[in-house]
A and B are shown apart, each in its own frame.
Chain A
Amino acid sequence: MKYKLLSVALGAAIGFTASAATAGTLDDVKKKGFVQCGVSQGLSGFSNPDAKGNWSGLDVDVCRAVAAAVFGDDKKVKYTPLSAKERFTALQSGEIDILSRNTTWTATRDTALGLNFAGVNYYDGQGFMVRKDLGVSSALELNGASVCTNTGTTTELNVADYFRENKMKYEVIAFEKADEVIQAYDAGRCDVFTTDASGLYAQRLKLQDASKHIVLPEIISKEPLGPVVRQGDDQWFNLVKWTVFAMVNAEEMGVTSANVDSKKAGSPADKRLLGVEGNFGKNLGVGNDWAYNIVKLVGNYAESFNRNVGPDTPLGIARGVNALWSKGGIQYAPPIR
């Protein structure tokens, strides 16, 4: 691990030199012909490779959508699996173009790390999972528990705050990889496994007997997860931001991958979204059919959600706060006009 880190650091130094001299990320991406996307090392529903090495998930869909907007081809993406603690260095150094790795938007990360958060593709919160036989029904009963989590995450900080605030003793065991956290929890090293609630549902699938574990009702933090880009490249920032917005807008307008062709002749708003009218794609530095390609190849936000984490998937997560603002949730995108 040390060597990997060192190489990232070294890469950082060299990357600064290299990228300082080049043009914007969008031009770089167009030149090299693909989007380099930083993802997790395997989190079901968000970014997970299958047996053939094809990545899928909610976070992966953001990268595919950006590739669709730039190239009209959602397959022009290369993935870099990153651990939680490597991710920001990889982005800062220019190793990747987008970080789409269930990353929480926080003040420090937005202001002190030279990064920009390009929207929120999943509103999450931190939860706890325990064995049913512990007989615990609330996180407030966890005094004296040992807690397994990931290093370099906001969860590590939240759990410290939560136990301190409620004057409970705890022992934290923080692993680098998500898979090792779940293994250690399964081996009984700790009583509690904590991460973002979506991650709990995803990781629960990896347990020997998932039915013996429950997720406690408390959500102890706000974890808005979204794609991240480097600060200081507004063109690329705009493109990623509006890619996320386009997917949400498409859902709101009822544009799906199935009906996108017929919607081209739809309402004025549909026409603007799909590039029949207006110059929105040109302003972003891509083709005017950018949003058409996104919806056609990747789908709208609802399609992406349902395909990867929705009720019909093994994760079975309800829309909840991630529903559209018009349906009781908080997913809201500025209009395209």
Chain B
Amino acid sequence: MSSDISDKADDSSKVSIWNDPKARGIFFQVILVAVIAYLVWALVDNTIRNLEARKIASGFGFLDTTASFGINQVLINYTEASSYGAVFIVGLLNTLLVAGVGILFATIIGFSVGIMRLSKNWVVAKIATVYIEVLRNIPLLLQIFFWYFAVLRAVPDKRSKASLFDTFNINVTGIWMPKPLPQDGFNIVVIAVLIGIVLAFIVKKWAKKRQAATGQQFPVIWASLGLIVGLPFVIYLISGSPLEWAYPEFRETGSRLRMGFQLGTGLQIIPEFLALLFALSLYTATFIAEIVRAGILAVSYGQTEAASALGIKNSHTLRLIIIPQAMRVIIPPLTSQYLNLTKNSSLAVAIAYPDLVSVFAGTVLNQTGQAVEIIMMTMGVYLTISIVTSIFMNWYNATMALVER
């Protein structure tokens, strides 16, 4: 008997390796990894050998070669004599610019429309519904074309302009406005803004602490606004307004070609950027609006009733009770929309906005023919942008998540 028991006790060690689920699991995983590694190696090796066999240039040396083509929106110092590496930076920054501003606009519009759609006011709710249903059901590329070509034909031509306060001008070449030129001493103002932000955080913490201790409220929003905007403004005035404005030059005489806004004067926002920005933000905002609506509806109505039973104002109910709970539902799908917007910005190529895909994976690829390197770099950039956005949103989600005690 005793021998029987001991037999059973180390049963697992006596079972053949082939029947051991753990060993089997490891075995198949090793095989899978080996197969994937082989496929990757075979693909890379074959590509390199074929590139050599066909005498197609390879390697990253091309990044130092002179680009010798012009780009109509550059955020860094770029001329035709700059290198392909500089083109990469220009394209990357243009992509980040349109994606960043697009995310900001899409979020603001999306949240507003999402809340509007839940409004008890019939007209407001219907306007939101129509906006969402129309825009999210039309392909994005068509919307980009619409904003570009329809609006181009609707605004004044290159030789004339429509102005707002004589400061903001619009015509077919885009929006022209004064360009801020920081003078000596403007650094103080920038420092003041930073100090304002830090102070605003401190005030917020202090106000929270005080409210927890005494129940007294403090107008944090107004105080923060005062610190971040007011403080730098006062310093700006005290330091003698160290900021000058370069107005765009508009010629109304001379040869017809030279009439209109002069290139390189003032601040020009090209219509390609505007069209892409409008299309991306309005399109993505429809999805965000639905996500926001879903999030708000996911918060039980009992919460609202409880809030009104406690005599909390409607606006406070929304801001302090509904939204914080809704955010937990909203943030994960919101992240996907941000990623979509960033990736969709590559449609820029259709309307000549010089984003990464257009200038780098387009023009540079065509001139150098180094498809493998360039597409890999471009994919790497989108991957990095998306992962960074994801990490940030996951962190934000963690801070908003329900803290269980």
Chain A residues within CB distance 8 Å of chain B: 1-2, 5-6, 8-9, 12-13, 16-17, 20, 84-85, 88-89, 92, 108-109, 111-114, 130, 133-136, 141-146, 148, 151-153, 156-157, 159-161, 163-164, 169-177, 180, 183-184, 187-189, 191, 230-232
Contact = CB atoms under 8 A, between A and B. Distances in A.
Given A151-B366, A173-B352, A231-B54, A188 B69 contact: no
Contact of B368 (A112, A164, A232): A112
24 contacts: A1-B347, A2-B343, A5-B361, A9-B372, A13-B43, A13-B46, A16-B47, A112-B57, A114-B54, A135-B257, A143-B258, A146-B263, A151-B362, A157-B68, A160-B80, A171-B263, A172-B71, A174-B72, A174-B352, A184-B148, A188-B158, A191-B257, A232-B53, A232-B54
Contacts of A169: 263-264
A134 B257 contact: yes
A329 to B, nearest CB: 30
Contacts of B53: 20, 232
**A-B interface, 8 closest residue pairs, ranked by CB to CB distance from nearest:** A152-B366, A113-B369, A114-B54, A16-B50, A114-B56, A2-B346, A9-B375, A172-B70
Interface string B354-372: 1001110111011111011
Interface string B253-294: 001111000111000000110000000000000000000000
Nearest to A143: B258
B357 A109 contact: no
B68 A184 contact: no
A231 to B, nearest CB: 6
B202 interface: no
Interface in B53-69: 53-57, 68-69
Contacts of A161: 68, 80
B312 to A, nearest CB: 48
Contacts of A153: 366
B350 interface: yes
B375 A187 contact: no
Contacts of B365: 85, 89, 152
B43 A187 contact: no
B46 A180 contact: no
B342 to A, nearest CB: 11
B318 interface: no
A136 B173 contact: no
Contact of A146 (B149, B173, B366): B173
Contacts of B362: 85, 151-152, 176
Contacts of A187: 149, 152-153, 172
Nearest to B376: A9
A280 B134 CA distance: 64
Given A92-B369, A171-B263, 10 more contacts: A12-B371, A13-B46, A88-B369, A114-B51, A151-B352, A151-B366, A156-B70, A161-B80, A175-B351, A184-B152
Interface size class of B (residues with CB under 8 A): 35 or more
B152 A174 contact: no
Nearest to B268: A171
Interface of B: 43, 46-47, 49-51, 53-57, 68-72, 80, 148-149, 152-153, 157-158, 172-173, 255-258, 262-264, 271-272, 343, 346-347, 349-352, 354, 357-359, 361-363, 365-369, 371-372, 375, 379
A1 B172 contact: no
Contact of A156 (B69, B148, B271, B371): B69
A143 B193 CA distance: 41
Given A135-B257, A157-B69, A6 B375 contact: yes
B112 to A, nearest CB: 30
B257 A142 contact: yes
A152 B347 CA distance: 16
B257 A136 contact: yes
A88 B374 CA distance: 14
Contacts of A164: 80
Given A1-B357, A187-B152, A112 B56 contact: yes
B357 A2 contact: yes
A262 B272 CA distance: 60
B68 A134 contact: no
Nearest to B171: A188
A184 B350 CA distance: 11
A92 B55 CA distance: 11
A151 B55 contact: no
Nearest to A155: B69
A148 to B, nearest CB: 8
Contacts of B72: 146, 171-174
B46 A152 contact: no
B154 to A, nearest CB: 10
A1 B350 contact: yes
A159 B68 CA distance: 10
A9 B46 CA distance: 14
A188 B152 contact: yes
B46 A16 contact: yes
A17 B357 CA distance: 26
B357 A112 contact: no
A231 B350 CA distance: 31
A188 B159 CA distance: 10
Given A89-B371, A152-B362, A144 B46 contact: no
